[in-house]
C-alpha cells in the first residue's frame, strides 16, 4: 500500500509547477477578477469579515486586523478577489508558523527559521456563497501559488477541512495526502526530519513550487506503524518525494 501511495504522489509531482497555463478565465458575461493583497484598512476589514463569516475553523495564526508589514520574503498577507469593486473571495496566507513553532530537538531553532523562510501555509480561503462554482476559488489558489513563489517559498501547504476544499486542492494540482499519512519535512542543512501528522478528520495538501536540484527542504511521507507514539518517526521508514 505504501509503495502504491508513493508511486501516485511521484506521478503527481511530474505535473507542471508553473501556473501560467492553468489560471481560469472569467466566464462569458462576467468581468474579470481583480485578485491582489489588501491595499487599505477598509479592505483589510472586509477580508477579515468575509473569512470570519465563511470559515468556521479556528486558525493557529490570528487573522491580521491591520495592513501587514510587507517584505519580499514570506509574511502574513490578506488576499482579496474583487469583481466590479465588490469583494467576493479572500484568503489568508503566510509562513508555516504553527509547524515551525511545534519543532523539537537540538536543531529546532535553525530548522524553524528555514520553515518560516521556505514554507508557505494557506491558513484560510473562502468565496461568498453567491459567487461559488464560478472558478473564483481556483483563481485565488493559483494567485497564492504565485505569491508564495515570488516571496521565496519552495513549498506551499494547506489543510483541506471538507470535500469541497479537497476538490479545490486537486483542481489546483496540489498533492492530496491520504488520511493517516504524516507529512515529513527534512531540513537538508542538518539532515533533520520532522513529522507533522494530519489532525483527525483532515489531510495535508501540498505543492512543491520549484524543482530545484538542491532544495533546502525535502518533502516526504510516512505511514504510521502500529503502536507508534504520535510524532515518533524513524528516518529509514520515510519515503521522500523530492
Q: Which of 23-37, 110-124, 173-187 has the lowest mean pLDDT?
A: 23-37
Question: Given this model, what pLDDT does residue 15 score?
Answer: 45
| pLDDT, mean over the chain | 84
Alpha helix (H) residue ranges in 68-216: 97-101, 108-118, 136-150, 163-171
Question: Maximum distance among all alpha carbons in the chain?
Answer: 58
Size of the chain, expressed as the number of residues it contains: 242
**Any bridge partners for residue 222, and if so which?**
182
Alpha helix (H) residue ranges in 55-107: 97-101
Q: Write out pLDDT tens, residues 81-129.
A: 999 999 999 999 999 999 999 998 889 999 999 999 999 999 999 999 9
Cell of 77: 498577507
Residue 236 has pLDDT above 50, yes or no: no
- What is the rounded end-to-end Cα distance, in angstroms, of the chain? 20
Interacting residues of 168 by C-beta distance below 8 A, sequence separation 6+: 125, 137, 138, 141, 160
Structural domain harbouring 82: 2-240
Q: Write out pLDDT tens, residues 53-65.
A: 999 887 889 999 9
Q: What is the mean pLDDT of residues 28-43?
A: 84
Cell of 155: 513549498
Q: Where residue 38 sits, what CATH number does that domain have?
A: 3.40.630.30
What phi and psi, each to the nearest 5 degrees, are found at residue 193?
Answer: -110, 135
Cell of 145: 501559488
Which has the closest alpha carbon to 233: 220, 216, 215, 214? 220
Look-up: residue for cell 497564492? 144
Cell of 229: 507514539
180: DSSP letter: T
Residue 75 has pLDDT above 60, yes or no: yes
What phi and psi, each to the nearest 5 degrees, are found at residue 104?
Answer: -135, 160
What phi and psi, each to the nearest 5 degrees, are found at residue 41?
Answer: -65, -35
Looking at the structure of the chain, the number of domains it has is: 1
Question: Given this model, what pLDDT does residue 221 score?
Answer: 85
Q: Give the confidence band of 189 by pLDDT, cuts at 50, 70, 90.
A: confident
CA distance 185 to 221: 9
Which has the closest alpha carbon to 186: 128, 122, 118, 135? 118
Give me the percent of the chain exceeding a pLDDT of 70: 79
Question: Given this model, what pLDDT does residue 242 score?
Answer: 66
Helix (H, G, I), strand (E, B) or coil at 8: helix
Question: Given this model, what pLDDT does residue 205 score?
Answer: 96
Amino acid at each position: 500500500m505504501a509503495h502504491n501511495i508513493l508511486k501516485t504522489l511521484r506521478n503527481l509531482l511530474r505535473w507542471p509547477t508553473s501556473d501560467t497555463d492553468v489560471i481560469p478565465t472569467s466566464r462569458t458575461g462576467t468581468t474579470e477578477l481583480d485578485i491582489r493583497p489588501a491595499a487599505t484598512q477598509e479592505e483589510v476589514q472586509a477580508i477579515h469579515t468575509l473569512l470570519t463569516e465563511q470559515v468556521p475553523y479556528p486558525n493557529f495564526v490570528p487573522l491580521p486586523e491591520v495592513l501587514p508589514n510587507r517584505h519580499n520574503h514570506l509574511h502574513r498577507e490578506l488576499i482579496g478577489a474583487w469583481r466590479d469593486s465588490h469583494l467576493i473571495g479572500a484568503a489568508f496566507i503566510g509562513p508555516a508558523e504553527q509547524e515551525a513553532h511545534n519543532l523539537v530537538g537540538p536543531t529546532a531553532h535553525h530548522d524553524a527559521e528555514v520553515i518560516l523562510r521556505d514554507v508557505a501555509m494557506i491558513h484560510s480561503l473562502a468565496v461568498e456563497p453567491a459567487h461559488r462554482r464560478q472558478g473564483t476559488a481556483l483563481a485565488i489558489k493559483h494567485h497564492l501559488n504565485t505569491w508564495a513563489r515570488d516571496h521565496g517559498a519552495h513549498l506551499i501547504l494547506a489543510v483541506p477541512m471538507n470535500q469541497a476544499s479537497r476538490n479545490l486542492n486537486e483542481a489546483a494540482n496540489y498533492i492530496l495526502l491520504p488520511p493517516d499519512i504524516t507529512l515529513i519535512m527534512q531540513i537538508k542543512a542538518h539532515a533533520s526530519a520532522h513529522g507533522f501528522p494530519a489532525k483527525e478528520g483532515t489531510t495535508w495538501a501540498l505543492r512543491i513550487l520549484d524543482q530545484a536540484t538542491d532544495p533546502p527542504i525535502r518533502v516526504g511521507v510516512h505511514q504510521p506503524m502500529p503502536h507508534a507514539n504520535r510524532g515518533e518517526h524513524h528516518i529509514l521508514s520515510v519515503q521522500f518525494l523530492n
